[in-house]
């Protein structure tokens, strides 16, 4: 039997490559085209299931897209047929319970296939976005096992604990999806979701219906924002208060702005001070910079850090930053105590009595300054020269302090002893 020749581009290189892949393969597509494509793929998968065939583990690289209704599945010899295990393995699409058991050779159930279909639908509707968020020191596998889903829906639902809140474009793309679809994704991927546990997952027909309903809404909607693959701002539902960002000029709901920052553990309300900076712009590079005195490189602040320094300078007497974070990590031995200290804390100490210069830490610098003052005072009071009085002939001393004073004033040194000077005047 001959199979038709496949065409188009891989799903991984086009849709799953986000804005870059879409601009390269399908630059004219909008969200309606994406809905049609999703229905086309899910319809084909449903026909597979009707024939008793399972992907086993979905490999998006084996799905080729030539058009919204022109899709090809290749590498079909890796599918799961009857009692024979699937030959492919893709961690991104593996259900959490299988990763916990650390199994490699698997025979997948229909329920586990349904989980993979949900991941596929999510990454199609959120082009290329992985459902879970990697927490601190976590990788993809850990985030799947923990089901760290960062998006939330409605007042009674919340994002997973320790999951980083999505920012920028993904939070906006999520906002434009219909409630029913968001509810399905949330309850599938969130650890406390009602479809999250094995045996409760939504099947392919449910995702097909949600996608068709979304497509019908987009076709009848007058708003062009939701039709865009990557809308520039949130839905205008008539309830949200929109404010214009002073940096990018884009209007966003007021909750999408930074309202406060912490300066020296004190919370400062920057919204009341007139700052209007949206969350994406807060992380962008500003026009304020400093040059590191240690390495000489120039560094630009983010807009958030710029505000912090502006308020810190006006309200907290902030000094201009002198060292970058990399140089603050570098250490060097103190020339006095021998301890390893950050290089930016080193001070140059000049011992004028001994004509020496030494790099020392801050604590040693204070100690040496105090010691230097004491030595200087002792030196000033010590005898610097013995002179014979030209009046009485007796020897008298002149201290170093007096020699220094007369030299600085441009005077000659005394030639008479203190007693003779008193008698003379």
Q: Which residue has the higher pLDDT, 5 or 100?
A: 100
- Whether residue 313 is predicted with pLDDT greater than 70 in this model: the reply is yes
pLDDT band at residue 152 using 50, 70 and 90 as cut-offs = confident
pLDDT band at residue 40 using 50, 70 and 90 as cut-offs = very high
pLDDT band at residue 349 using 50, 70 and 90 as cut-offs = confident
Cα dist from 407 to 304, 355, 410, 411, 415, whole Å: 56, 19, 5, 6, 15
Q: Which of 117-121, 151-155, 201-205, 206-210 has the lowest mean pLDDT?
A: 151-155
pLDDT band at residue 160 using 50, 70 and 90 as cut-offs = low
pLDDT band at residue 112 using 50, 70 and 90 as cut-offs = very high
Residues 337 and 247 reside in one and the same domain: no
DSSP letter (8 states) at residue 93: G
Average pLDDT over residues 73-87: 81
State which of 155, 188, 220 marks the end of a domain: 220
How far is 411 from 89, CA to CA, in rounded Å?
Answer: 94
pLDDT band at residue 119 using 50, 70 and 90 as cut-offs = very high
Helix (H) or strand (E) segment spanning residue 301: strand 298-302
Q: What does the pLDDT read at residue 251?
A: 93
pTM exceeds 0.75, yes or no: no
User: Domain residues for 188?
Assistant: 9-220
Residues 157 and 246 reside in one and the same domain: no
pLDDT band at residue 321 using 50, 70 and 90 as cut-offs = confident
Q: What does the pLDDT read at residue 4?
A: 62
- Whether residue 316 is predicted with pLDDT greater than 90 in this model: the reply is no
Residues 257 and 309 reside in one and the same domain: yes
Q: Which two tokens stand for residue 70?
A: 């022109």
Residues 323 and 368 reside in one and the same domain: no
Q: What does the pLDDT read at residue 1?
A: 44
Biggest CA–CA distance in the chain, Å, is 133
Q: What does the pLDDT read at residue 225?
A: 66
Is-contact 9 22, C-beta < 8 A? no
CA trace torsion 282, 288, 293, 294 (10° rounding): 30
Residues 23 and 108 reside in one and the same domain: yes
Tell me how crowded residue 253 is: count the other CB atoms within 10 A of its CB.
18
Q: Which of 64-73, 165-174, 266-275 has the lowest mean pLDDT?
A: 165-174
Instruction: For tokens 């085209």, name the residue.
Output: 33
How far is 42 from 208, CA to CA, in rounded Å?
Answer: 6
Q: What is the pLDDT of residues 274-292, one digit of tens each?
A: 999 998 899 999 999 999 9
Q: Which residue has the higher pLDDT, 168 or 357?
A: 357
For residue 2, being part of any structural domain is answered with: no
Give me the chain's average pLDDT, please. 88
- Whether residue 163 is predicted with pLDDT greater than 60 in this model: the reply is no
Q: Which residue has the higher pLDDT, 227 or 7?
A: 227
For residue 198, being part of any structural domain is answered with: yes
Residues 337 and 320 reside in one and the same domain: no
Residues 38 and 141 reside in one and the same domain: yes
Residues 88 and 211 reside in one and the same domain: yes
Radius of gyration of the chain (CA): 37
Is-contact 103 123, C-beta < 8 A? no
Nearest to 125 by CA among 163, 164, 165, 181: 181
Q: What does the pLDDT read at residue 423?
A: 81
Average pLDDT over residues 331-351: 86
State which of 381, 400, 415 marks the end of a domain: 381
Q: What does the pLDDT read at residue 77?
A: 79
Average pLDDT over residues 344-367: 84
Residues 207 and 355 reside in one and the same domain: no
Q: What does the pLDDT read at residue 135?
A: 61
- Whether residue 15 is predicted with pLDDT greater than 80 in this model: the reply is yes
Give me the DSSP letters along 247-270: TT--EEEGGGB--EEEETTEEEES
Residues 177 and 260 reside in one and the same domain: no
Residues 387 and 377 reside in one and the same domain: no
Q: Which residue has the higher pLDDT, 216 or 86?
A: 216
């Amino acid at each position: 039997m001959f199979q038709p020749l496949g065409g188009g581009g891989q799903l991984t290189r086009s849709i799953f490559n986000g804005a870059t892949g879409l601009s390269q393969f399908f630059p004219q597509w909008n969200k309606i085209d994406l809905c049609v494509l999703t229905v086309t793929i899910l319809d084909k998968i449903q026909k597979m299931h009707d024939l008793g065939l399972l992907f086993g583990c979905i490999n998006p690289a084996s799905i080729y897209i030539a058009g919204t209704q022109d899709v090809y599945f290749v590498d079909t010899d890796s599918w799961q047929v009857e009692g024979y295990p699937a030959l492919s393995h893709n961690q991104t699409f593996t259900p959490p319970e299988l990763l916990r058991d650390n199994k490699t050779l698997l025979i997948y159930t229909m329920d586990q296939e349904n989980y993979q279909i949900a991941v596929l639908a999510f990454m199609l509707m959120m082009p290329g976005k992985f459902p879970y968020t990697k927490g601190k020191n976590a990788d993809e596998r850990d985030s799947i096992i923990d089901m760290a889903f960062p998006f939330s829906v409605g007042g009674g639902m919340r994002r997973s604990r320790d999951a980083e809140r999505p920012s920028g474009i993904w939070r906006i793309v999520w906002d434009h999806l219909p409630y029913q679809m968001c509810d399905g994704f949330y309850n599938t991927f969130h650890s406390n979701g009602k479809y999250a546990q094995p045996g409760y997952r939504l099947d392919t027909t449910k995702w097909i219906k949600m996608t068709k309903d979304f497509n019908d809404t987009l076709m009848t909607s007058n708003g062009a924002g939701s039709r865009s693959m990557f809308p520039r701002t949130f839905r205008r539902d008539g309830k949200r208060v929109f404010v214009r960002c002073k940096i990018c000029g884009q209007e966003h709901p007021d909750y999408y702005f930074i309202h406060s920052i912490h300066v020296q553990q004190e919370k400062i309300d920057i919204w009341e001070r007139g700052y209007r900076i949206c969350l994406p712009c807060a992380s962008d590079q500003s026009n304020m910079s400093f040059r590191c005195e240690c390495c000489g490189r120039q560094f630009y602040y983010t807009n958030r850090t710029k505000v912090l320094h502006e308020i810190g300078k006006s309200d907290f007497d902030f000094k201009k930053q002198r060292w970058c974070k990399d140089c603050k990590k570098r250490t060097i031995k103190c020339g006095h105590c021998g301890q390893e200290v950050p290089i930016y804390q080193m001070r140059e100490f000049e011992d004028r009595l001994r004509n020496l210069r030494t790099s020392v830490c801050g604590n040693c610098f204070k100690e040496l300054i105090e010691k230097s003052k004491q030595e200087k005072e002792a030196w000033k009071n010590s005898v610097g020269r013995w002179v014979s009085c030209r009046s009485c002939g007796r020897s008298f001393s002149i201290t170093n302090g007096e020699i220094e004073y007369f030299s600085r004033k441009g005077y000659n040194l005394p030639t008479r002893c203190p007693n003779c000077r008193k008698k003379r005047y």
